[in-house]
């Protein structure tokens, strides 16, 4: 596989599809939601990943009052938080997070989940929860708005251009690029949505600190003939 190399001062990490494989739960509950509201599951599946629930609902039911979406979102969050059947870590996630911790490399979680859901899913996957963490409670707009990633960079004291985002979804990749950051796409959904580079799993990522402690190097085994070096 071709190799790409990125340098950065900090990493901003999505959760679902990036650190945690929650597809089984998401698809189970959102399939039921689609049936309840007469929305074909294929349409739901095209937009559900990476967004807060109310934003997904607004996309699928554009005439529906937003207050109903927010109320329904609260119900869905409760259901998702209580259902962790099938939650597993993305391959390589344990090693990846351990490398960041061992090297004291700056990183933050930026997720569309709220604190309760993020805690439930990371715990079910046996993963530590990165801090700082930017969750649904931290932002006024869902991905693909860049607010969450910009807040994550600010929490770490970093300029956007010094950060690399790890994402899997169309909404998340768009948010990272809109924030002025480079984006590593993770998993089967990512490559189609224009990340800087894409890898199949976190097993294809190696993290090393730069000499002097001023950042890190990412060595990526990329999915296709992407650039050998991406700045």
Across the chain, the runs of DSSP E, i.e. the strands, are: 3-8, 10-13, 20-21, 88-89, 107-110, 133-134, 163-167, 182-186, 197-199, 205-209, 216-221
Identify the residue whose tokens are 């060595």.
219
Q: What is the largest CA-CA distance in the chain?
A: 57
Strand partners, 150: none
The answer to whether 145 is a known catalytic residue is no
Which whole-number Å values give the CA distances from 197 to 110, 131, 193, 218, in the listed order?
19, 25, 10, 11
Q: Residues 25, 132, 211, 230: what is their CA dihedral angle, to the nearest 10 degrees?
A: 50
The answer to whether 83 is a known catalytic residue is no
Determine the Cα–Cα distance for residues 162 and 198; give it in Å rounded to an integer.
Answer: 19
How big, in percent rounded to 5, are the helix, strand and coil portions of the chain? 45, 20, 35
From the list 14, 21, 23, 145, the catalytic residue is: 14
From the list 16, 23, 114, 145, the catalytic residue is: 16
What values do phi and psi take at 16, rounded to 5? -65, 125
Active-site residues, by number, are 14, 16
């Amino acid at each position: 596989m071709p190799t790409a190399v990125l340098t950065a001062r900090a990493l901003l990490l999505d959760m679902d599809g990036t650190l945690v494989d929650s597809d089984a739960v998401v698809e189970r509950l959102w399939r039921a939601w689609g049936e309840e509201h007469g929305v074909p599951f294929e349409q739901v599946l095209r937009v559900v990943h990476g967004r807060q629930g109310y934003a997904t609902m607004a996309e699928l039911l554009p005439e529906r009052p937003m207050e109903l979406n927010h109320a329904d979102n609260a119900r869905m969050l409760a259901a998702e938080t209580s259902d962790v059947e099938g939650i597993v870590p993305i391959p390589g996630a344990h090693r990846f997070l351990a490398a960041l911790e061992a090297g004291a490399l700056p990183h933050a979680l930026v997720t569309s989940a709220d604190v309760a859901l993020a805690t439930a899913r990371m715990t079910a996957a046996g993963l530590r929860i990165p801090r700082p963490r930017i969750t649904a409670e931290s932002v006024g707009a869902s991905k693909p708005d860049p607010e969450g990633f910009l807040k994550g960079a600010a929490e770490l004291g970093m300029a956007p251009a010094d950060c690399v985002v790890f994402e899997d979804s169309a909404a998340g990749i768009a948010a990272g690029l809109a924030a002025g950051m480079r984006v590593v796409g993770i998993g089967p959904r990512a490559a189609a949505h224009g990340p800087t580079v894409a890898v199949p799993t976190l097993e294809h990522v190696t993290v090393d600190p730069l000499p002097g402690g001023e950042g890190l190097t990412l060595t990526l085994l990329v999915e296709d003939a992407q650039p050998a070096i991406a700045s």
